């Protein structure tokens, strides 16, 4: 089927990107190349700062904000202390590249995330210990009854299995995770608005 010249022209325009779209795609690729070593642990916050500084010189200052947004998007309640501190340092370092940075406000919000994560882990551990203490008596009684019947029972494994399958524990964890995640999401949205 032959297309009219006008139809061919329209079809050709549909498949091509504008110069702005091509620049945006290239900037995103360049940013991924810069961020990849940081996320894989082969680059420090200082290395990232230098690479983003260089990239912002050629791609524009918008790349600083984009790098910060990508880093902020990786914050999790369950991440390790080292990863959390590394991301915090990187966000703050990149903020120094901006002419009108909000370093102090960003540092305060990041400190709130660190505190939230610590409280999250502390409350979770305290609740786990309380439930464990409550269940130890039940498991000990079941182990004693099994021993009387001539059956040996691994009380430590039984306790952990009972604990993790406990409806009360699952309900607590679900509520605790949801509340902490909501607070984290609020902090992260405030950070994104600030960037």
What are the DSSP calls for 79-97, one per residue? S-HHHHHHHHHHHHHHHTT
Q: Would you kindly state where each structural domain of the chain is located, as residue ranges?
A: 1-98, 102-195
The pair of three-digit structure tokens given for residue 75, joined into one six-digit string: 């914050």
Indicate whether 182 pLDDT > 90.
Answer: yes
* Count of other CB atoms within 10 angstroms of residue 56: 19
The 10s digit of each residue's pLDDT in 110-141 is 999 999 999 999 999 999 888 888 877 777 77
Sorting pLDDT into bands at 50, 70 and 90, what band is 88? very high
Sign of CA dihedral 48, 53, 57, 60: positive
pLDDT tens digit sequence for 26-72: 889 999 999 999 999 999 999 999 999 999 999 989 999 999 999 99
Contact 93, 47 (CB under 8 A): no
pTM of the model: 0.78
Decide if pLDDT at 77 tops 80: yes
């Amino acid at each position: 089927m032959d297309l009219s010249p006008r139809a061919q022209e329209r079809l050709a325009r549909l498949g091509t990107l504008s110069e702005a779209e091509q620049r945006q795609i290239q900037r995103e690729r360049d940013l991924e190349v810069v961020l990849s070593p940081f996320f894989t642990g082969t680059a420090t916050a200082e290395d990232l700062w230098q690479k983003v500084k260089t990239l912002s010189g050629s791609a524009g200052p918008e790349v600083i904000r984009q790098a910060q947004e990508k880093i902020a998007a990786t914050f999790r309640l369950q991440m390790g202390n080292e990863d959390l501190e590394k991301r915090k340092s990187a966000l703050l370092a990149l903020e120094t590249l901006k002419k009108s940075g909000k370093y102090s406000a960003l540092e305060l919000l990041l400190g709130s995330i660190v505190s939230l994560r610590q409280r999250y882990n502390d409350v979770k551990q305290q609740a786990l210990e309380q439930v464990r203490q409550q269940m130890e008596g039940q498991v000990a009684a079941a182990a004693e009854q099994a021993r009387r019947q001539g059956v040996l029972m691994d009380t430590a494994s039984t306790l952990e299995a009972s604990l993790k399958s406990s409806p009360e524990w699952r309900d607590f964890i679900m509520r605790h995770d949801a509340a902490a995640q909501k607070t984290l999401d609020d902090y992260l949205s405030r950070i994104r608005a600030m960037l």
